[in-house]
Amino acid sequence: MSFLLLIFKNTFRNKVRSFLAVIGIAIGIATIVGLGALSNGIITSFDKTMHVGGADFSILSKQQNETGINPYGTSTFSEDWLNKIKEIQGVKDAKGIYLATLPVEGKLLAVGGFDYKDLKSRDNSLIDGRNISENANNEVIIGKLASESLNKGVGDELSIGEDKFEIVGISESGNSNQDSSIYTLLSVIQKMVKDEKSLSMISVYVEKGADIKGVAKTIEDKYGENISTVTSVSDVKRMDDLVNMIKGVSLAISLLAIIIGGIGIINTMIMTVFERTREIGVLKAVGWSRTKILSMILGESIVLTLFSAVIGSIIGVIVLETLVAIGIMGNTLNPVFTLETFIQGFEVAILVGLIGGLYPALRASKLTPTEALRYE
């Protein structure tokens, strides 16, 4: 029997004890994987929103307004900024957007206002109905997920705040945020929230071959006191705070998993060493070195925690996907599992194995053959 096969076989010799140790560590790993996937989901969804319609980057107000209706927590700014941005060298086009979180049929949903031409450019995302008419003041397009959530379809009446609208189309983009939103004309939403001639975001398109970062820096250098260019989640305080909070909770759970899992592994491996004291004595008597004994016990500890990482990762994926399937996670927050997420879980598992198995391994390696063989 090879040394590695012996380690694996010894790890699960006491099945009940190994099972309890695996479950304890797996729960911590599952939580780490789950929170990592949620954080990735927020970043991915935000990135798609910031580059809606193929925009190279977006512009938000520099002023924070945490109590406002803008989902990004920033104040609105004048439509005059559109012309200023279009005049920047390297900018091909700039489109104004108004985003607001409003009560829709008793639920708070994102409502977006776009220029008529921008809405027309989204015809390919319509899966039912038609686009909004150019001068309509009571028509909306509803995302597929919002349609399912509200149980509304083309031709139905939709209440947004105190106003009534007709649903003329249903769209699907593949972005959960956009598919959970409502769309109407820019002028309509501005009037609805009594903030006419204002924007909450500008989508910027640069000329072919232009340096995107260079254009964004030019805008920041010229107008940085009033507006901010946004290319990633870290550029928006509210989104960045949310992601950092999730990462902080994940770090805290990682440390807790290391502590609790480490204690559990120490207990499991110490009991293993006690039960196999005579066996270890025999191995030493036939020529096994201290290093080989230490490697065997430490290897068993790491195998146990790696198995826990596999089980924990599977549990994390199943639980999150189940929550999404039954609607508990809502329509706008979809987890995104990446290799980095799972690597983090396995890194914690290996660290738990090393910390938890080191003391029992050292204890086993220091046993003398005569002392071990006399043990009852």
Domain boundaries, the chain: 3-45+241-374, 63-225
Per-residue pLDDT band for 329 (boundaries 50, 70, 90) equals: low
For the chain, what is the mean pLDDT?
82
For 176, the token pair is 């959960």
pLDDT tens sequence across 137-148: 899 999 888 898
Q: Where are the alpha helices (DSSP H) in 107-143?
A: 116-120
pLDDT at residue 159, as a whole number: 92
pLDDT tens sequence across 266-311: 888 888 877 777 787 788 788 888 888 888 888 888 999 999 999 9
Q: Decide if pLDDT at 341 tops 80.
A: yes
Distance between CA atoms of residues 98 and 202, nearest Å: 9
H-run or E-run covering 88 = none
The residue with greater pLDDT, 260 or 83, is 83
Q: Decide if pLDDT at 362 tops 80.
A: yes
Distance between CA atoms of residues 188 and 170, nearest Å: 18
This prediction has a pTM of: 0.69
